[in-house]
Amino acid sequence: MGNSGSNSLGIPRGKGPNQVGCTDLMVEHTVKGSFLRLYYPCVESPDAEMPFWIPSKEYFTGLADFMKINRSLSERIFTYLYGSFKIPAAIDAPFKPNGKYPLIIFSHGLGAFRTLYSAICSEIASQGFVVAAVEHRDESASATFYFQEKSVTEEENQQGTYKTTVAAESNLEKVWMYYRPVEPGEREFPLRNKQVKQRADECIKALDILTEINSGISVTNVLQSRFDWTTIENSLDMCRTAIMGHSFGGATVIESLCKEFRFKCGIALDSWMFPLDDEIFPRVKQPILFINSERFQWAGNIIRMRKLDSSTIPRKMITIRGTVHQSFPDFTFLTSHWIGKILKLKGELDPQVALDLSNKASLAFLQRHLSLEKDFSQWDPLLDGHDDHLIPGTNINILQSSI
């Protein structure tokens, strides 16, 4: 792929001591089921293949819808620009049993989907976590898919005679769900509020399914995958679970913390607070870390984050100088400098430096609030904004500016 000057483009590997594997899980084939990509510490597998960053072309189709650009033209452009990038993880590699790993549920942003934050997810996994990046079916993802039974009549037509299906899965057909824009004249809040509630339910459902797998209950993975899910039995520390998300996924973090006390803390990356009801803020009891970009925030959004300020519950906010909203998803690593700047996919700050700061602050916060015995506390100063590229709190002055 095209090089941006010295270093070629690509999603950086995790820096931690563990090699990272990844595998997809869909439990219950319907739209109400759970769909996630698991990033996990894996057995060293040097010759394992890495999955494509964009799993199917339908995701480019959905991205075009989201970006309001022509489907066929952009499918070709996206395929040319991004079609061959891989995720830095070994597909279906054997899980590395090593005591109990803490679990992170990750929620993607508006118009994104489960694979677009693999730099963050694989870094966290490489540091000794299991990370489940859910794919939401609330029509906020650019695209997602599920299955439904083929109608019997269709089957009869095809085979002439009615075939009793032995394996239920054999008569399933894949159905694609694309991004649903706000219709002209439609009020955005009711839609986004309904979606954030569904998103939280989907994160909790993923937690439930992983809890079942951890306790030895066997679940059927609708997707054909070689990964042996029984190998993670008793390897998740279900007392050390947290939730992370970007933008709309940040609002999903707040909603999920409010609904589910099993999430011990939350990390909201450039959170978009608009979809949340005002009345939930006093009901969130867990620690929260807000990591903001310099350019995405505005007074109204910061004011809503500040409603979560507390003298008793640990609440932290830092802003990374020279970053933009897209400094968190993987695109920031995959677009050359100038295109990235023009499309606002890159800020002034080197994407690797920006993500290192975000990940290290996240790890320090997780160590503190999941009481981990790691050395992540070395990055505690970042939580107070002690770094040349960090601002403690926010750069948005909410006193003078109008709300």
Ligand X SMILES: CCN(CC)CCN(C[C@]12C[C@](c3ccc(C(F)(F)F)cc3)(C1)C2)C(=O)Cn1c(SCc2ccc(F)cc2)nc(=O)c2c1C=CC2
Chain residues that interact with ligand X, rule: CB under 6 A: 63, 66-68, 109-112, 116, 247-248, 272, 325-326, 329, 331, 335, 343, 345
Residue among 152 and 343 whose Cβ is closer to ligand X: 343
Residue among 85 and 379 whose Cβ is closer to ligand X: 85
C-alpha–C-alpha distance, residues 122 and 14, integer Å: 5
Q: Clarify whether 118 is annotated catalytic.
A: no
Of 272, 369, 273, 263, residue with least CA distance to 316: 369
Note whether 141 and 179 are within 8 A (CB): yes
Residue among 20 and 273 whose Cβ is closer to ligand X: 273
Q: Clarify whether 309 is annotated catalytic.
A: no
Q: Which of 138, 201, 270, 387 is catalytic?
A: 270
Could you tell me the end-to-end alpha-carbon distance of the chain, in angstroms, rounded to an integer? 44
Q: Which of 140, 235, 247, 362 is catalytic?
A: 247
Listed in sequence order, the residues at least 6 apart from 244 whose beta carbon sits closer than 8 Å to its beta carbon are 104, 105, 106, 107, 120, 124, 253, 266, 267, 268, 269, 362
Minimum distance, C-beta of residue 293 to ligand X, in the bound complex (Å): 11
Q: Clarify whether 247 is annotated catalytic.
A: yes
DSSP label of 9? P
What sections of 241-390 are H helices per DSSP? 248-259, 299-306, 331-334, 337-342, 351-369, 380-383
Other CB atoms closer than 10 Å to residue 217's CB: what's the count? 10
Minimum distance, C-beta of residue 16 to ligand X, in the bound complex (Å): 24
C-alpha–C-alpha distance, residues 201 and 205, integer Å: 6
Minimum distance, C-beta of residue 114 to ligand X, in the bound complex (Å): 12
Residue among 198 and 235 whose Cβ is closer to ligand X: 198
Burial of 316 (0-12, 13-18, 19+ CB in 10 A): buried
Residue among 129 and 272 whose Cβ is closer to ligand X: 272
C-alpha–C-alpha distance, residues 403 and 399, integer Å: 9
Q: What 3-state class would DSSP assign to 91?
A: strand
Residue among 34 and 326 whose Cβ is closer to ligand X: 326
Q: Which of 325, 330, 362, 389 is catalytic?
A: 325
Minimum distance, C-beta of residue 361 to ligand X, in the bound complex (Å): 20
Minimum distance, C-beta of residue 119 to ligand X, in the bound complex (Å): 12
Minimum distance, C-beta of residue 191 to ligand X, in the bound complex (Å): 12
Q: What 3-state class would DSSP assign to 280?
A: helix
Note whether 209 and 262 are within 8 A (CB): no
* Joined tokens for residue 200: 């939280």
Residue among 35 and 59 whose Cβ is closer to ligand X: 59
DSSP label of 92? T
Mark 225-236 as b/e (b = at least 16 C-beta within 10 Å). Answer: eebebeebeebb
Minimum distance, C-beta of residue 233 to ligand X, in the bound complex (Å): 34
Active site residue ranges: 247, 270, 325
